Structure 1
Amino acid sequence: MLYQMWLWPEILYHLSEHLTYHELSRLSLVCHAWNNAFAPILWANITLGCQGRCRGHVTGGEGADRTPSLKTLQARASWIRSIAYHGHRDPHQFLLGPQCRYLHSLALRGSIPFNTTATPQFDKAYSDSCRDLIRQNRTTLRHLTLTQMTFNTPKNRIGVPNWSPMRIFAFGKYTDLRTLNVEWCYVYGQHREALWALCGRLEGLTIWGGSVGLPEEVWNRRQLRDKVNAAISSSADDNNNNSAIAGQEITEKWITSKRFPRMVELNISVSERCAEDYLHCIVAQCPRLRRLEWNPRSTTTLFVDLMLEYLTNPKLRATTWPDLECIGRAEIFGQDHLLQLIETWPVGKLLNVNGWLFRATDVMVKRLLDLHSNSLREVDMSLRKEASSWEWMHRFLELCPMLEKVKCQAINLQPLVLENRPPWVCERLQEWEIWIDMDPRSFVPPMILDNGLKRQEEWCRKVFERLGRFRQLRVLDLSWKPSEMGYYGSTRTRKETLALLHFSLRTGLDEMSKLSKLKEVYFQGQQTMLRRSDVRWMVKHWINLEVIQGGSFSEKREPFGGKKKKVWDFEYCRMFEQHHIRASSEFGPYPSDYLNPKQLARLAEADDE
């Protein structure tokens, strides 16, 4: 009966979600059936770094390095879904064959080697192979990343390939590219026209550094924008129906002439001298924009005033960004500006205020909760070290039912153990990154305990009982980072047991038995508090657990007379690894290293070097 319900490939596919890269590579050699099930997963993501020859590694699971040859890649080209090239020095690196036509993501890093004086044939071979690879995947490609590349081909340079990936997707047929990342690229001439023509089809765009210029028809659009502002202001001042009708007609014309009608996410980092032009000609041309990230270096008074005008003017906001949900990196605004944004932001549209709480006041937090508590989904107060953040975070947890991500440097234990404190309503929480201060001296007034260990166990059980209500929790980070030691004063040491939340069954860990969706857990404890029974309990109840990092450490000297370093107990690591759970032995890695894509990219680059 079980065989009729589940086919073998489906069973193997579910098993592959709990296997590491090394285990997948070994199991794919068992038989043809297992190879057909595991090999496509094993070769889905490829990263190649070319330094004189084709060298690369297959990323999957733990990301162990491999050096596949070009013939090996050609034989498995039909399985590749994502490929990244770090450097362009081999003209044959793109010759993956006609079978490689199912790519979803492509990343190119490094300038295309145009050198007509030394080796013109090398340039042509490289260009043709790269262009053929992109063309045969233009119907399936969804994400394109270009890093440190220059596109400038004057007409008087004979023999230089006159093409770019932007031209293929901008003017080609049957393409559905959705996101484009342009980082430290320099685009000139007709390639710049192709770039902005392509952006009219995109849903996500990232421009970070470099020089990409501005779209055409800048002056015409500026004049049209001035007419719209004049019509709106005149209709607001006068009650004349003719002026209102004229303003409405110009506004409709302005909406229909938007350059980027599909853009949803936008991340721009440019210099101050062209910030205003980018705001008018690019950012203001996205009527469906939802998330906006802006470079905090653009802090001129003119730019800040223009941005506030777009965000706080109701009629201009309705024609520019009616669906905007958040604006990141709000350091460019002062406290008065942020309070104005909170009060004028449409109710039910504000989802993320991570950059707003860095310089928040009690008045701002009160107004934020009064107006937008039912819509907030992400709250980040990790940059605040004041004690007021404790009380604020508790208020967010008690009043915001839609919260999904929470991050704070520390919260006080006292509101957690008091009986008259309201319960938390954010049962949809998925990522929790907070250190809970278990020290009784942080109470108001401070407490002096006679039987500290027994009271510690009672408090831990109450904390675990609260955490056990988050059935949707995926990431749980309760670690105590050494960088935060200075915040708590010189009187505290890492050996104080009352300042830690111990993960043990004796202290009530079984209250979190219903968190079956947990994938990553980071906690701080002591070696004497963790038992083998605790490890077995975690493996049994947290069935989706993939990564665990604990503070149970011991001193271990590096080989050949090296320095001592703090590592996790070997027995605990071995027990977790038997159940295919990554238990890092180093004391340093924290969840930010796993969750931050840029940090992962830097680690991958270091491994390649």
Structure 2
Amino acid sequence: MNLILDPPTKYVSDSKPEEDPFNLIACNPSLVKLSIIRLKGYFQDPFWDAVSKLQSLTTLHLQFVNIVPNDTFWTVCRNLETLHLVGTVFLGDHIVIPDQSFPRMRSLSISNVDNLDMMKQVKFLRQCGNMEELTWRGRCSFQALQEFTQDLVQGAWPKLESFDPGFNIPHPLLAQIFGGMRRITKLFLTRTTIKPSTFQYLRPHLDSLVVLDHRGSTGPSSDMLREIMCSCPNLEELRSGSIIANDVLQDEPWVCTNLKIIQVCFLFDKSRSNADTHRTIFKRISGLTQLERLQVGGWSSGPNIPFQESLDLRLESGLGELANLKHIKCLDFFHTVQMFGEEDVRWIISNWRKLEETLGCVHPNPKERDILVSLFKERGIKAV
């Protein structure tokens, strides 16, 4: 059972008796998941004593709350498999991480936790030796990151396979992290650039990658992205940046046929004809038969930049190659210049029966756009 406590403006004195967290917890002794969001005033010794009595509790999510991390709080954590601390404030002048292990902890998220410095966070991480998933965000000091990396290389977390750091990692440390992880299935590098010298340490993990998210930073080069798409048979989610279209299309086939989400902006040379390249890309995408979300949006370039953004999503450019993609739920082409016609929209509606929304401008002319958007909305498809 999952209990979510999220009345943003309520305090204890304002709550009805049946809404008091103590009563809610007492009435649900078999709770497995407990989420506490934006509540105030409940999180001292008596509260953690009540939570500690939940024998089945495996997941605790604390978001934008103030807590007093007493001994009972850490006892609660000792029995958890999943702990998410998001925007949490630790109250107290001298926060102490107890010298104990947290053997059941599998998934840990520490995001912008106040009054718990990074070195103490590293100490806590050390005590979660069976950790499999780590999301770690905040102002990370180089010393803390260096010690974390050294611990990882020395085998502190042999089961860690999902890593989501919300800060930039220097290339030498990133290479050591890749080399120190025995297996990587999920990798989120939204603040860190992968250079060719670092990419070689990621290569041994390409066969096991399921999720690769590289938005928000300089993405991998065209050569790296081509290698990823040709070497990751288990990849289900790929989020990257802008890629020069011709660089990605070489003779090697894309083996990532399990992809459900792809976010790549293909860039085309304005000085040459791109008709064949468009159709070839559509043919490659047509092999991704499990695809649910197709995102080809990019950024708006000025007239002096020698590339045009992303795919031309029209039948005359090869859109018809995607008729076998029967699971598409979202088509995203934000920040691209599209010139849809009625025949293109009707084709999309007829062939992609699971489509729920389109994101982007379907036509620069307002009158044409209104007509096309109305066609989508008639079928219950959200068009933005």
Question: What TM bracket, shorter-length normalisation?
Answer: 0.7 to 0.9
Distance 2:37 2:309 in 1: 47
Which has the larger Rg?
Answer: 1
Assess if the C-alpha contact under 8 Å between 1:262 and 1:288 holds in 2: yes
2:304 paired with 1:491: yes
- Aligned partner of 1:345 in structure 2 is 181
Distance 1:460 1:503 in 2: 9
Q: Could you say if the C-alpha distance between residues 506 and 402 of structure 1 is closer, same or farther in structure 2, counting changes exceeding 3 Å? A: same
- Aligned partner of 2:253 in structure 1 is 423
Distance 1:265 1:517 in 2: 32
Q: Secondary structure at the match of 1:548?
A: strand
Amino acid of the residue matched to residue 410 of structure 1?
S
If each structure's helix is expressed as a fraction of its own residues, which one has the higher value? 1
- The one-character-per-residue Cα deviations of 1:54-80 (angstroms, maximum 9, x if unpaired) are xxxxxxxxxxxxxxxxxxxxxxxxxxx
Q: Could you say if the C-alpha distance between residues 127 and 385 of structure 1 is closer, same or farther in structure 2, counting changes exceeding 3 Å? A: same
Q: Could you say if the C-alpha distance between residues 149 and 535 of structure 1 is closer, same or farther in structure 2, counting changes exceeding 3 Å? A: same
Distance 1:300 1:333 in 2: 9
1:211-250 matches, cutoff 5 A? 211=90, 218=98, 221=99
Aligned-pair CA distance for 1:275:
2.5
| More deviation, 202-211/458-467 | 202-211
Assess if the C-alpha contact under 8 Å between 1:430 and 1:472 holds in 2: yes
2:122 paired with 1:309: no
- Aligned partner of 2:294 in structure 1 is 476
Structure 1 segments unaligned to the other structure (5+ residues): 1-102, 116-121, 154-161, 222-256, 442-448, 450-454, 557-566, 585-609
- Aligned partner of 1:366 in structure 2 is 200
Distance 2:142 2:218 in 1: 28
If each structure's strand is expressed as a fraction of its own residues, which one has the higher value? 2
Distance 2:217 2:264 in 1: 12
- The one-character-per-residue Cα deviations of 1:20-51 (angstroms, maximum 9, x if unpaired) are xxxxxxxxxxxxxxxxxxxxxxxxxxxxxxxx
Q: Secondary structure at the match of 1:438?
A: strand
- Aligned partner of 1:379 in structure 2 is 212
Q: Secondary structure at the match of 1:569?
A: helix
Amino acid of the residue matched to residue 375 of structure 2?
M
- The one-character-per-residue Cα deviations of 1:318-369 (angstroms, maximum 9, x if unpaired) are xx422101332274642212222223332xx112333288233221112321
Aligned-pair CA distance for 1:298:
2.6
Alignment size in residue pairs: 381
- The one-character-per-residue Cα deviations of 1:244-269 (angstroms, maximum 9, x if unpaired) are xxxxxxxxxxxxx6334143233343
Aligned-pair CA distance for 1:305:
3.4
- Aligned partner of 1:549 in structure 2 is 359
Aligned-pair CA distance for 1:576:
1.6
Distance 1:148 1:299 in 2: 30
- Aligned partner of 1:288 in structure 2 is 130
Aligned-pair CA distance for 1:492:
4.0
Distance 1:334 1:512 in 2: 40
Amino acid of the residue matched to residue 186 of structure 2?
N
2:266 paired with 1:436: yes
Q: 1:203 aligns with which of 78, 81, 87?
A: 81
Amino acid of the residue matched to residue 267 of structure 1?
I
Q: Secondary structure at the match of 1:202?
A: coil
Q: Percent identical across equivalent pairs? A: 18
Aligned-pair CA distance for 1:432:
0.7
Q: Could you say if the C-alpha distance between residues 470 and 580 of structure 1 is closer, same or farther in structure 2, counting changes exceeding 3 Å? A: same
Assess if the C-alpha contact under 8 Å between 2:43 and 2:67 holds in 1: yes
Distance 2:167 2:127 in 1: 23
Distance 2:159 2:348 in 1: 42
**RMSD after superposition:** 3.3
Q: 1:571 aligns with which of 368, 371, 377?
A: 371
Q: Could you say if the C-alpha distance between residues 415 and 332 of structure 1 is closer, same or farther in structure 2, counting changes exceeding 3 Å? A: closer
Aligned-pair CA distance for 1:273:
6.5
Q: Secondary structure at the match of 2:281?
A: helix
Q: Could you say if the C-alpha distance between residues 417 and 292 of structure 1 is closer, same or farther in structure 2, counting changes exceeding 3 Å? A: closer
- The one-character-per-residue Cα deviations of 1:580-607 (angstroms, maximum 9, x if unpaired) are 21112xxxxxxxxxxxxxxxxxxxxxxx
Q: Could you say if the C-alpha distance between residues 515 and 178 of structure 1 is closer, same or farther in structure 2, counting changes exceeding 3 Å? A: farther
Q: Secondary structure at the match of 2:221?
A: helix
Q: Could you say if the C-alpha distance between residues 554 and 126 of structure 1 is closer, same or farther in structure 2, counting changes exceeding 3 Å? A: farther
Aligned-pair CA distance for 1:413:
1.6
2:102 paired with 1:259: yes
Assess if the C-alpha contact under 8 Å between 1:296 and 1:332 holds in 2: no
Aligned-pair CA distance for 1:205:
1.3
**What TM-score comes out, normalization by structure 1 length?**
0.56
- The one-character-per-residue Cα deviations of 1:115-166 (angstroms, maximum 9, x if unpaired) are 6xxxxxx67x54775433343344356241232523367xxxxxxxx843x4
Distance 2:368 2:134 in 1: 41
2:79 paired with 1:192: no
Structure 2 segments unaligned to the other structure (5+ residues): none
Assess if the C-alpha contact under 8 Å between 2:330 and 2:355 holds in 1: yes
Q: Could you say if the C-alpha distance between residues 568 and 343 of structure 1 is closer, same or farther in structure 2, counting changes exceeding 3 Å? A: farther
Q: Could you say if the C-alpha distance between residues 398 and 135 of structure 1 is closer, same or farther in structure 2, counting changes exceeding 3 Å? A: same
